Amino acid sequence: MDEKPFFEFNVLDFRDQQVDELKKFTKSAFNVELILNTASDLKYTRAIRNVLSDWMTAPSEDFVKILCSEVINGKRFTPAVKEQFTQITKSAFSQLISEKINDRLKMAMEPSSETKVNNSDGEDIITTAEEIEGFHIIRAILRENINPKRITMRDAKSYCAILLDDNNRKPICRLRFNNTSRMSIGLFNERDEKIEQISDLSDIYKFADLIKRTVATYMSPLESTLQQDAQVDFVG
């Protein structure tokens, strides 16, 4: 057992992203395989964040040396150069963070966070934040089964289709989120669509097994074999 927990949640001080992670541990969304993968990702993400946080205030010599090799080719890494670029690195970190914060503030001040998409008929379609989040949940569910880049989103007036290889003959599911107070998801079993009501986006995880089986029906025997081999290699 690890000495440090892979995830901590402070009810008095938390971020929205932490709430999303916590939802994966609810009874309705509980999935052991997904949680194990999440635990590994959170563990190393936290470790890397801690290293980066330390480097922001006190960049290590090796880190500064790597950056110097990228920007001053051929110049020796002398003590004077080290001192100069240590300060420059700290300043660059600070500027980068300030720019990212300003970008976020500008986005937050925009009148709408919805994305406009044009359909094949030339009509304007609104892709909502809920549909985008649902799309990323589907990708997360399938990330060990198939390359996430093969999972695409195609919006329409009545639903948002999640497809394999951007092929409407390979539907993974349909997000029916036009009415956010009564959301539903269309799931496929042998080409037939079955619509399930959901009360929260995290409810999508309850259908993870069915979503995986749907994608498996579109994969060739060779793809399935390669995927199984990759999973064995990963576990090993």
Pseudo-torsion of CA 34, 39, 45, 48, nearest 10°? -150
What HEC string does 4-49 produce? CCCCCCECCECCHHHHHHHHCCCCCCCCHHHHHHHHHHHHHHHHHH
**CATH code for residues 115-235:** 3.90.930
Say what the pTM is. Answer: 0.48
With CA atoms as reference, report the closest residue to 146 among 44, 235, 45, 218. 218
Per-block mean pLDDT, blocks of 10 residues, the chain (236 long): 64 66 68 67 79 87 88 83 90 85 68 45 73 92 88 91 92 92 90 90 93 89 51 42
Model pLDDT, residue 125: 77
Report in angstroms the alpha-carbon separations of 72 from 64, 67, 89, 92, 212. Answer: 12, 9, 13, 16, 49
Residues 173-185 as b or e (16 or more Cβ within 10 Å = b): bbbbbbeeeebbb
Query: What's the pLDDT score for residue 112?
Result: 41
Distance in angstroms (rounded) separating the CA atoms of residues 166 and 80:
55
Task: Outline which parts of the chain fall under CATH 3.90.930.
Answer: 115-235
How confident is the model at residue 157, as a pLDDT?
A: 87
Instruction: Name all contacts of 228-232 with Cβ < 8 Å and 24+ positions apart.
Output: 231/144
- 88: three-class secondary structure by DSSP: helix
CA distance 11 to 9: 6
